[in-house]
Amino acid sequence: MDAYAWTYRFAEIEVDPAAHRVTRQGIALDLEPKAFAVLVALLEHAGKALSRDDLLDSVWGHRHVTPGVLNRVIGHLRKALGDDAENPRFIQTLHGVGYRFLAEVERIPAGGGHTTPLAASPNPATVAGPPPVAQTAALSAAAGGRRATDNPTVSSEVPARASTKSRRRIASFSLLLIFALGVLMAGLVMTLDWRSDSQSARPPASIAVLPFTNLGGADNDYFVAGLTEEMRSALAGVVGLKVAASITTEVRRNSPDAKALGAKLGVATILEASVRREGNQLRINARLSDTRTGFTLWSESFDRRLLDVFDTQSRIANEVVQALLGVIPGEGLALRKRLTPTRNVDAYDEYLQGMNLLSLAAASEPTDQAIDRFHKALEKDSGFALAQAGICAAEARRFESLHSVDAFQNARVACQRALNMDASLAEVHLALGDLYFAQGQLDKALTEYQGIEHAPSTMTFASVGIAKVYAARKDARQAEMYFAKALAASPADPLVYAEIGYQHYIDNELDLAIGAYAKAVQLAPDNVDLWTTLGGLQMEVGDNASAAKSLERSVAIDPGYAALTNLGLLQYQAGDFEAAVASQRRALEVNPTDFMAWANLGMALNARPETRAEAHEAYAQAAARAQAYLEKKPDDARSIAALGLYRAILGEPSKARELLAKAEALGAQIGEVALLNAETLALLGDSDAARLRVERARREGIAETLIASNPVFRRLNLVEDVSTKSQAK
């Protein structure tokens, strides 16, 4: 029997399969697609028992689904119809058998006509409807086919004397054709209207994992955030399931209900959960909601020991997949593996704390604290590959941002150990890619990034890595495309904006860089490193007032070395050399490995007669550390130029000129290289060449405040009147 040839009516409810519409007294009811299909199947066989297997085959086809999926759909259907499982009016459960539709149902031919009680069970051959020829004609017309009179093989002339019988046949056929076309188009419009709301905009098998709510105190924030991200990554690995990017709490606040979130994120379902962790006990309340209707598809509470957290996460993930896709053979085991990186919950806790610390800063104390957490995780589970990959990533970051040679060696060892534990981990290859990129081995970095660009847990920063490689190769189009892919995957991730901002900085697009970092700190207002970098960029363009505010904000959160050394530079520019020395010494107490902080100290010491003798040692420290860093990263133009300046200060002119030429040949960070080389040439007595470099630095956007604060440039009269220039603007 063709269900789409009928409209069904029972009690005060009417079901129109062709329009995919259910109404109660003219008011539309929202049903998810599977529930609607189950209802139609029950109505087709009203009064008869339908086995669970029959319903599963009818609605889910030949897919392997568990009876639990049908239970949830029946529950959703009963709720929508106002039915009661204990005292059913409509759907009766036949224990051990299946279900039966109880109420008397009227069957109305689609498009109108006499009603027929379903109990009559008409022969399908007697069902009213257009004959096949009329359907074909209607479809041809709908597809824009020729009219019959346009066909050159058919005469356009109608016989002058058609018989009455012929005329009646023609009229009957025409009316039938019009009727068929009308029914078809009406059904098509209604179906497309429904699909535009629930399918086109929101793919049926799609989900957003909302930030889990922490009910156990602020000291558990890292744990709950970690569970959220692990769940999102695990579900993103399920073939056929579209998973939205990470959702910020701000997005959650601005979209108060499931329908609003579904419209904003373009997903059919949302998963939300609350987590209460108290000692060794864990309580998780999870709920899966349909964003088109707002109805709950599945919910459950779990009271477990903390030791059972992996099993609980796996259970939730499996329920989600079964609700949206049915049972996929082998997927349950795959989800369990992704959600059980270790069997030691204490090791997992240390790992999550490390990842939380690693997300807070890239160039200050939290990075070292993160490494310590990862080591503790490995003490509890020596085979915990993700913790070893965390060390690899953190040490690679320390090498790139802190210019630490020890960090490079540590990263190499950690990455190799992680590969030995589990070479399939995408996180290990991401860290390796970062390490190769930091070294300037672009081909190796690209190979690592491309191998994991589709892995759920790393696709965002694999795309960032690929973008950075293409940018280093001067392929701006490809770099822009991959940065856009990273943003599409994680549109609310502040670290993606930071990476984009840093690339703008390298490309000397300082206004764009400042804009990207401003967006990053808006998304992560407590991130020390982002505020520090924003302050440094504001210094670059001469906006010292804004720079001071950004750096002071950073120091107030956590007095990291980068913010302190930049504040020292601001104090130096303002002529407060004593304060500048104090800030630089504080910076070196936090991080004694960075050659730039040593050079900044040397500059501040050299500005005061009573400390000038100490400056030589500070520059010697800077030169030694810069040399060691460049042995590991030989393509850093700015660092090469800086080392050239240190050599000039230390009385090594030939080495200084060699490094100057090498830095300029790389053609990168042109403004900063020009400014450093100008000071080198001035110290070497080549004032004309120094003047040319200062002009180049100005053309590249270097702020006049950075030039004016340099005593060497002032002695050579290379400084413009900043106040006059400002007034002219």
User: CA 514, CA 542: separation in Å to the nearest integer?
Assistant: 12
Domain total for the chain? 3
* Phi and psi, residue 383, nearest 5°: -105, 15
pLDDT of residue 590: 87
Is it the case that residue 135 has pLDDT exceeding 70? Answer: no
Contact 720, 703 (CB under 8 A): no
User: CA nearest 317: which of 328, 303, 304?
Assistant: 328
User: CA nearest 678: which of 661, 691, 665?
Assistant: 691
Please report which confidence band the pLDDT of residue 111 belongs to, taking 50, 70 and 90 as the band edges.
Answer: low
The token duo for 205 is 């098998």
Q: For residue range 631-687, list pLDDT tens digits in order.
A: 988 989 999 999 999 999 999 999 999 999 999 999 888 999 999 999 999 999 999
Query: The dihedral of CA 177, 182, 183, 184: what is its sign?
Result: positive
Strand boundaries in 233-354, DSSP class E: 242-243, 269-278, 281-290, 296-305
- With vertex at residue 610, the alpha carbon angle to CA 605 and CA 614, rounded to the nearest 5 degrees, is 45
User: CA 307, CA 708: separation in Å to the nearest integer?
Assistant: 62
User: CA 660, CA 622: separation in Å to the nearest integer?
Assistant: 17
Q: For residue range 25-75, list pLDDT tens digits in order.
A: 878 887 777 888 899 889 988 888 888 888 887 777 645 555 667 887 888
User: CA nearest 681: which of 692, 671, 670?
Assistant: 692
Please provide the DSSP assignment of 639-673 as one string: HHHHHHHHHHHTT-HHHHHHHHHHHHHHT-SHHHH
CA distances from 142 to 146, 174, 178, 186, 192 (A): 10, 16, 12, 12, 14
User: CA nearest 315: which of 329, 301, 295, 297?
Assistant: 301
pLDDT of residue 351: 93
User: CA nearest 575: which of 614, 555, 604?
Assistant: 604
Is it the case that residue 729 has pLDDT exceeding 70? Answer: no
User: Reduced to 3 states, what is the DSSP secondary structure of residue 516?
Assistant: helix
Is 332 contained in some domain? yes
Contact 278, 214 (CB under 8 A): no
Q: Which has more pLDDT, 213 or 508?
A: 213
pLDDT of residue 491: 81
Q: For residue range 274-312, list pLDDT tens digits in order.
A: 999 988 899 999 999 888 888 888 888 899 888 888 888
User: CA 662, CA 672: separation in Å to the nearest integer?
Assistant: 14
Q: Which of 170-179, 247-256, 520-529, 613-622 has the highest mean pLDDT?
A: 613-622
Is 16 contained in some domain? yes
User: CA 468, CA 446: separation in Å to the nearest integer?
Assistant: 9
End-to-end CA distance of the chain: give it in Å, rounded.
81
Gyration radius of the chain's alpha carbons: 35
pLDDT of residue 547: 93
Q: How many residues does the chain have?
A: 729
Amino acid at 539: M
Q: What is the 3-state secondary structure (H, E, C) of 285-304?
A: EEEEEECCCCCEEEEEEEEE
Contact 373, 354 (CB under 8 A): yes
Q: How far is CA 337 from its chain centroid?
A: 22
Q: What is the mean pLDDT of residues 678-703?
A: 91
Q: How deeply is 411 buried, as exposed, middle or buried, from its count of CB atoms within 10 A (0-12, 13-18, 19+)? A: buried
**pTM, entire model:** 0.58
Of 122, 152, 179, which marks where a domain is finished?
Answer: 122
Residue 81: CATH number of its domain: 1.10.10.10
Q: For residue range 546-590, list pLDDT tens digits in order.
A: 999 999 999 898 888 889 999 998 998 888 999 999 999 999 998
Of 314, 338, 362, which marks where a domain is finished?
Answer: 338
Is it the case that residue 166 has pLDDT exceeding 70? Answer: no
Q: Which of 95-99, 227-231, 375-379 has the highest mean pLDDT?
A: 375-379
**Distant-in-sequence, close-in-space partners of 366: CB < 8 Å, separation ≥ 6:** 357, 358, 360, 528, 558
Is 131 contained in some domain? no
Of 295, 322, 338, which marks where a domain is finished?
Answer: 338
Give the β-pairing of 269-278 and 242-243: unpaired
Is 20 contained in some domain? yes
Residue 687's domain comprises 636-728
Residues 210, 334, single domain; the answer is yes
Please report which confidence band the pLDDT of residue 2 belongs to, taking 50, 70 and 90 as the band edges.
Answer: low
Cβ neighbours of 256 (radius 10 Å): 9
Is it the case that residue 176 has pLDDT exceeding 50? Answer: no
Contact 344, 381 (CB under 8 A): yes
Range in 211-220, 281-290, 322-331, 366-375 the model is least confident about: 322-331
Torsion-angle region of 690 (φ positive above 0: left; ψ -120 to 50: alpha; else: beta): alpha
Amino acid at 612: R
Q: Which has more pLDDT, 692 or 33?
A: 692
Residue 226: CATH number of its domain: 3.40.50.10070
Across the chain, what does the average pLDDT equal?
Answer: 79
Q: For residue range 580-617, list pLDDT tens digits in order.
A: 999 999 999 988 888 989 999 999 999 888 998 999 99
Strand boundaries in 41-192, DSSP class E: 49-51, 91-94, 98-101, 106-109, 116-117
Percent of the chain scoring above 90 in pLDDT: 32
Residues 118, 211, single domain; the answer is no
* Phi and psi, residue 289, nearest 5°: -120, 145
Is 713 contained in some domain? yes
Residues 14, 116, single domain; the answer is yes
Q: What is the mean pLDDT of residues 394-401?
A: 82
pLDDT of residue 518: 95
Residues 113, 210, single domain; the answer is no
pLDDT of residue 721: 46
Is it the case that residue 620 has pLDDT exceeding 90? Answer: yes
Contact 40, 91 (CB under 8 A): no
Is 486 contained in some domain? no
Q: What is the mean pLDDT of residues 386-409?
A: 85
Percent of the chain scoring above 70 in pLDDT: 81
The token duo for 633 is 């990263």
User: Reduced to 3 states, what is the DSSP secondary structure of residue 144?
Assistant: coil
User: CA 676, CA 351: separation in Å to the nearest integer?
Assistant: 42
The token duo for 47 is 């009064």
Is 197 contained in some domain? no
Please provide the DSSP assignment of 558-608 as one string: ---HHHHHHHHHHHHHTT-HHHHHHHHHHHHHH-TT-HHHHHHHHHHHHTS
Torsion-angle region of 287 (φ positive above 0: left; ψ -120 to 50: alpha; else: beta): beta
CA distances from 396 to 430, 431, 541, 542, 623 (A): 10, 7, 29, 31, 22
Is 162 contained in some domain? no
